[in-house]
Amino acid sequence: MLGITYKRLSTDKQRYGIEAQEIELEAFCKSNGIEVLYRLTDIGSGKDTDRPNLQKALELAKGLGVKLIVSKLDRLTRNLKDLQEILSSGVEIVVAQFGLECPSILLNLMGSISQYERELISRRTKDALAAAKARGVKLGDPLVREKQQLAVKANLKRGIASAMKFQDIITLLRGQGLSYEATANKMNDMGLRTNRGCLFKANSVRRLAVRLTRQ
């Protein structure tokens, strides 16, 4: 099996560095028997696909008929429209975080969830800062601003997990013929957790699936 790896480092002090991506990608390719033909890297924002090495990676992957592998979905793009265009271009995208066998429709869904989360965090952060300003808090203080943002993100992680209810993901995975246990393992591999922050188990997935059939 052949593939091309792609890494991206943001210009906004992204913590998830090139070295960490490289280690994860190399381990993933080795464990899945993938021979890496090219290793490409860009330094820049993921807000669009206007990155020279991303374009090169897409062209090579399509021309050679091999997989394009990234460590996490946001290393490819943070824009849902761009993701949809890439997925429909004929290039097979593999996200190490989600495993080797992850269909495009599920990547699309995860991209939708990520964009929804970013937009919600942005809106809630602005609301929280406006409320703080109304209370007389000095917003120029970076510590205050950081505390506000952390509080918003912590609340949203709980709220988004509850709101999404994972129903679309379970429907997609079960539709592929996966057992409840295999579905739970796949969701855990994708970094998803229950509303209580726990790993999914076969029984918890089964309960969610039963609720889905009753709707």
- Residue holding tokens 């609301």? 127
Q: Between these two residues, 211 and 76, which has the higher pLDDT value? A: 76
The gap from C-alpha 140 to its chain's centroid, in whole angstroms, comes to: 31
How many angstroms separate the CA atoms of 133 and 77, rounded? 33
CB atoms inside a 10 Å sphere around CB 108: 16
Nearest to 10 by CA among 50, 56, 47: 47
Nearest to 198 by CA among 164, 158, 163: 158
User: What integer pLDDT is reported at residue 173 of this predicted model?
Assistant: 78
Question: For 65-118, what is each residue's pLDDT tens digit?
Answer: 999 999 988 888 888 888 888 888 888 989 888 888 777 777 777 777 666 666
Which H helix or E strand runs over 194? none
Q: Give the pLDDT band of residue 198 (cuts 50, 70, 90).
A: confident
No. of helices (H) and no. of strands (E), the chain = 9, 4
**pTM score of the predicted model:** 0.61
Positions of CATH 3.40.50.1390 in the chain: 2-102
CATH architecture observed for domain 2-102: 3-Layer(aba) Sandwich (3.40)
Q: Give the pLDDT band of residue 120 (cuts 50, 70, 90).
A: low
How many angstroms separate the CA atoms of 161 and 195, rounded? 6
Residue 27 has pLDDT above 70, yes or no: yes
